[in-house]
Chain A
Amino acid sequence: MNPLTGYLFVAALLFAIGLAGALTRRNAILVLIGIELMLNAANLNLIAFWRYGPHPEALTGMMFAIFSIAVAAAEAAVGLGLVISIHRHAHTTDLDAMNRMKG
């Protein structure tokens, strides 16, 4: 079996798990955790293609993954800040209870 296939399969499974978490959980923080899992699955794909691709010395996939990690960190910081801000206004992190855009 092609080793790249195994990594792509793990990444697909991890992406599906993250998507299921983001779509089924009530807690906003758990939804963010699901989104982080999806981003990480994409990073695993990038690194795997870099490793088994024809030109690893060009560093393309590796650089893409590193920038993606940086963007994901920014996303996590802003997302969790928003959750804390909403909790201060509405006293809940339950997404089913958040049905107003005006505080």
Chain B
Amino acid sequence: MSIVFYVLAALTIAGGLAAVLLKNTVHCALSLTVAFAGLALLYLELDAQFAGWAQILVYIGAVAILVVFAILLTRGSETPKDGVYSKNWLVGLVIAAGVFAVLGWAVLQSSAVLPHETAVPTVTVLQIGNALMGRYVLPLEIVALLLTAALIGAVIVAMHEKESDQ
């Protein structure tokens, strides 16, 4: 485990924690961007350059901006007077802690049998493009259809309705 991994992991976890814990919604969105950036850097550390840059493009470039737009359009940056946490926050916290306990226990128990190839995989964008146009062409088409449907659906759902009385 290199020092770079620990720094990036700490950055990602800190960003995620701040995104969930902060009171101001805009600050949460900015912390979420930090967590996304930390994850992209972890992908680069894992020699997955394409996924890392895709993460930066899609999450930091699009999703984070979309979240900020939604916060501003819904005036969500105003802190509500009766707290930012739900009435059943303790139940949610217990469930999340239980899930983390189970996942962490499973990871630590299976540590000895996990694969650990040391050879650095050399994957070029040409190989990824060939795979997308060959073996994975059907999922690619389905994702294209899904993105089109989501685009049209999001516009229809959020479109301003006309005040039609007749």
A interface residues, Cβ below 8 angstroms from B? 1-10, 12-27, 29-30, 32-34, 36-37, 40, 43-44, 47-54, 56-57, 59, 62-63, 65-67, 69-78, 80-85, 87-88, 93-96
Contact = CB atoms under 8 A, between A and B. Distances in A.
Nearest to A80: B70
Contacts of B95: 19, 23
Dominant SS among interface residues on chain B:
helix
Interface residues of B, number: 84
Contacts of B115: 4, 49, 52-54
Given A9-B104, A30-B25, A63-B131, A17 B59 contact: no
Interface of B: 1, 5, 9, 12-13, 16-17, 19-20, 25, 28-29, 32, 35-36, 39, 42-43, 46-48, 50-51, 54-55, 58-59, 62-63, 66-67, 69-71, 73-74, 76, 80, 83-89, 91-93, 95-97, 99-100, 103-104, 107-108, 111-112, 114-117, 121, 123, 127-128, 131-132, 136, 139, 143, 146-147, 149-151, 153-155, 157-158, 160-161
Contact of B20 (A21, A47, A71): A21
A99 to B, nearest CB: 12
Contact of B85 (A9, A16, A25, A53): A25
Contacts of A2: 111-112, 114, 116
B70 A10 contact: no
Contact of A20 (B67, B92, B114): B92
A67 B143 contact: yes
Contacts of A6: 1, 5, 9
A76 B20 contact: no
A1 B92 contact: no
A46 to B, nearest CB: 9
Given A47-B46, A56-B121, A59-B128, A16 B97 contact: yes
A25 B83 CA distance: 9
Contact of A5 (B13, B70, B107, B154): B107
B86 A76 contact: no
Contacts of B158: 80-82, 84-85
Contacts of B12: 10, 14
B3 to A, nearest CB: 12
Contact of B50 (A62, A75, A95): A62
